[in-house]
Structure 1
Amino acid sequence: MLDARNQQRLEEFIQELGVLGQMRHPNLVMLIGACFKLRSLVYEFLSEGSLEDFLKNRPGLLTWQMYTRIVYEICSALIFLHSNKPQPVVHGDLKPANILLDANFNNKLADFGLCRFLPEGADTVAFLRTSNIKGTKWYIDPDFLEAGKLSPGCDVYSFGVTILRILTGAPPARVVMKVYRANERKKVMTIVDPTAGPWPDHVAEYLACVGLKCCEPERRNSELMMEISTGLKDILAKIGA
């Protein structure tokens, strides 16, 4: 008989295998193989490690242009998951540690052990109620913590926190409030990550704005994600990134 810990690992293994075994997207990590007996998954090799490592331990190696493209690619991956048919997918643990980079600094969303399929035919306002709250502190949607409603909006909140971390280089604790206060005072440029190079005002202010919107309960929906995707695509086209 499996103990509780092993049972949880088995459930996460099956969940991840179920998602990555049937879904393909340029910004989702590619599953190459699996061994059920060992509960092991084999993925494509992503040589540059995680985004968390760059933010925390390797500052200055990624430029603001590269960070902007990374945000766009994460957005693209989430739109793909949330619009999956017949069942939308919620990642459930989006954070820089689960965003991996290849040799060309293209990013891939990884670690689908906590992901969930929403009810068949659901749209992005639907949710799955659960009392089993999982995720990573500071990235978990406060509404999910309070009501146990798992929805695509939970990923959007985590995406917002990730955007603000990328913009500032700051740790996740209270980064939302830090950017909110700076934005209210029109002082966003005083808190951007200087190691990423000279951020253009319009890019930094745009990322601050959409990052904060992602953290607002009434704005966490598919329309916002499409709006962000379009805005970032326009920015990337203008800067040639």
Structure 2
Amino acid sequence: MKMANWIDLSANQFSGGIPDSIGDMQNLQNLSLAHNRLEGSIPESIGKVSSLESLDLSHNFLSGSIPMSMENLRYLKYINLSFNNLSGEIPSKGPFTNCTAESFASNQALCGAQRFLVPPCPTISAHRSRTKRVHRTIFISLGVIIAVGALSFGFVYLRYRRKDKLPNGANLSLVAMPERISYFELLQATNGYNESNLLGAGSFGSVYRGTLGDGRAVAVKVFNLQMEGAFKSFDVECEVFRNLRHRNLTKVISSCSTPEFKALVLEFMPKGSLEKWLYSHNYFLDLMQRLDILIDVAGALQYLHCEYATPVIHCDLKPSNVLLDQDMVPHLSDFGLTKLLGEENSITYTETLATLGYLAPEYGLEGLVSAKCDIYSFGIMIIEVFTRTNPKSEMFSEKLSLKSWVANSIPDELAHVIDANLLKESDEYFGEKLSCIASIIKVALGCTMESPRERSSIQDVLVALKKIKLQYMSSQSSRKS
């Protein structure tokens, strides 16, 4: 159950409490335990379920307070704790900033902000208030003393240890990384960058599999500094990976940077790329696996475009840049062409082109980059995932593209362009599968409109894909019952 990402146990007769071990479910995105007979308190450990997006515990007999740890659930969009026996203060930060009174209706003794239609929480007594002021004064005084001591030490250290400063050619990205791995360690880990360890090559370098001294398997991305733009690509990837955190983005372990050598040490993805799974005869992804992968990638794009302080545009979205871990969870990788938009900019310009076939028209013709460029590439990738046809295939020309080929097949010929391994007329659920895929292709075509203004937003795309998944699962369940 630790790997589950969608749990719906609503409308049963379950009793007892919610176990503390729920905090171990790091992949859980949607949880519904509504309309049961659950008792006890909401576990504090629920605040550790960092990927949680929807939580429904309504119509139970839960008591106690709402854990303040839930304020840390940055992806939580929907909360329903109504019709319980909860008491105490309603948290006001994090996901609770967008909640309405309906989320907490019909509880025993909740208090908090006026917008929740509950009474204000009791004020702290005068005695406790004075005690708190005394403590605050003491802490501030101690803080000032410690700060002065630290500054004094720092001054002396900088004055007498200037020789230990970083050399001018060193890259500051090394300081930001949690580990330091030397050039010689990487050389040993990859067996001298032996071709047998080569995982793939990209625009600015090659990626090798390596094994560190402690036994960890890693992927080492070595930048070809002879290539124009390689230095900039390395700096961009360091900047992006230093700050971004999401379960569907590749994790960087460290970097290694000298004037003559630059590399990133990445988490190794044992299942390889989505491209490998699509086109190799030894692998196969069923409909639900493909849809789950696309939903996760859309979630990563939503984080990049909307949930980070500075919008991040990937600029090179394609199956070879989607890597799969041991549990087939996708991780978006290769941020070498990424663009960071300023606070007041929703569009920027670039002279560096990404992979042909996935480029939005305005990107390929004018070098204009915006979030809608990623949307276009994602739409092409959706079509590729379900047709198992590369947009750069020789069958396409100036008059026929992957998008137009699929668009022209709707509605009567769609079954003939879908991956033959995925959809066969002899399939038991042929009708349900075709209907599900048709809905997905419709979403993809909404992403690939010629005009950026007419393309769907990533929020709408993510909602639509999740809805399609629920409808398909519901139809499968009804058929089996």
Query: Partners in 1 of 2:303 and 2:463 — Cα distance?
Result: 14
Q: Which amino acid counterpart does residue 196 of structure 1 have in structure 2?
A: L
Instruction: Say which of 91, 113, 117 aligns to 2:340.
Output: 117
What's the CA shift for 1:94? 0.5
Could you say which residue in structure 2 is the equivalent of 1:147? 366
Distance 2:271 2:225 in 1: 34
Residue 193 of structure 1 corresponds to 419
2:253 corresponds to = 32
Counterpart among 336, 342, 348 of residue 128 in structure 1: 348
TM-score by length of 2: 0.46
* Contact 1:153 1:221 survives alignment (8 Å): no
1:18 corresponding residue in structure 2:
239
Q: Secondary structure at the match of 1:83?
A: helix
- Structure 2: how far apart are the matches of 1:55 and 1:220? 31
2:403 aligned with 1:176:
yes
1:189-226 CA deviation, whole Å, 9 max, x = no partner?
22111223556122111111111111103466785321
Q: Which runs of 5+ in 1 are unaligned?
A: none
How far did residue 230 of structure 1 move?
1.1
How big is the shift at 1:84?
4.2
Give the Å deviation of 1:134. 1.6
1:34-75 Cα shifts (integer Å, max 9, x gaps): 111231111111101111111122465211110011111111
Distance of 1:226 and 1:220 partners within structure 2: 15
Structure 2 residue aligned with 1:231: 464
Partner of 1:95: 318
Say whether 1:73 aligns with 2:296: yes
Question: Per-residue deviation at 1:160?
Answer: 0.7
Equivalent of 1:215, from 448, 454, 476? Answer: 448
- Structure 2 distance, partners of 1:53, 1:26, is 21
Q: Which residue of 2 aligns with 1:8?
A: 229
TM-score normalised by the chain length of structure 1: 0.89
Distance in 2, matches of 1:39 and 1:84, equals: 30
Q: Which protein, 1 or 2, shows the higher relative CO under an 8 Å CA cutoff with sep ≥ 6?
A: 1
AA matched with 1:113: G
Alpha-carbon contact 1:213-1:219 (below 8 Å) kept: no
CA-to-partner distance for each residue in 1:125-150, whole Å, 9 max, x for gaps? x20023x1320010111111222211
Going by fraction, where is helix more abundant, 1 or 2?
A: 1
Which secondary structure state, in structure 2, belongs to the residue aligned with residue 68 of structure 1? helix
Q: Distance in 2 between the 1:153 and 1:15 partners?
A: 20
CA separation of 1:15 and 1:167: change in aligned 2, threshold 3 A: same
CA apart distance, 1:172: 1.2
Mapped contact 1:152–1:221 kept (Cα < 8 A): no
3-state DSSP of counterpart to 1:235: helix
Question: Quick one: distance in 2 between partners of 1:222 and 1:208?
Answer: 14
Q: Quote the Cα distance in structure 2 between the aligned partners of 1:48 and 1:147.
A: 37
Task: Look up the match of 1:202.
Answer: 435
Secondary structure of the residue aligned to 1:128 is strand
Q: Is the 8 A contact 1:99 1:110 kept in 2?
A: yes
Return the letter of the residue paired with 1:67.
Answer: R
Question: Residue 194 of structure 1: SS of its match in structure 2?
Answer: coil
**1:5 Cα offset (Å):** 3.8
Root mean square deviation of aligned Cα: 2.4
The residue type equivalent to 1:217 in the other structure is: E
1:52 aligns with 2:52: no
Number of aligned residues: 235
Contact 2:446/2:455 (<8 A) preserved:
no
Amino acid at match of 1:154: C
Q: Secondary structure at the match of 1:144?
A: helix
Question: What are structure 2's unaligned runs of at least 5 residues?
Answer: 1-223, 393-400, 477-481
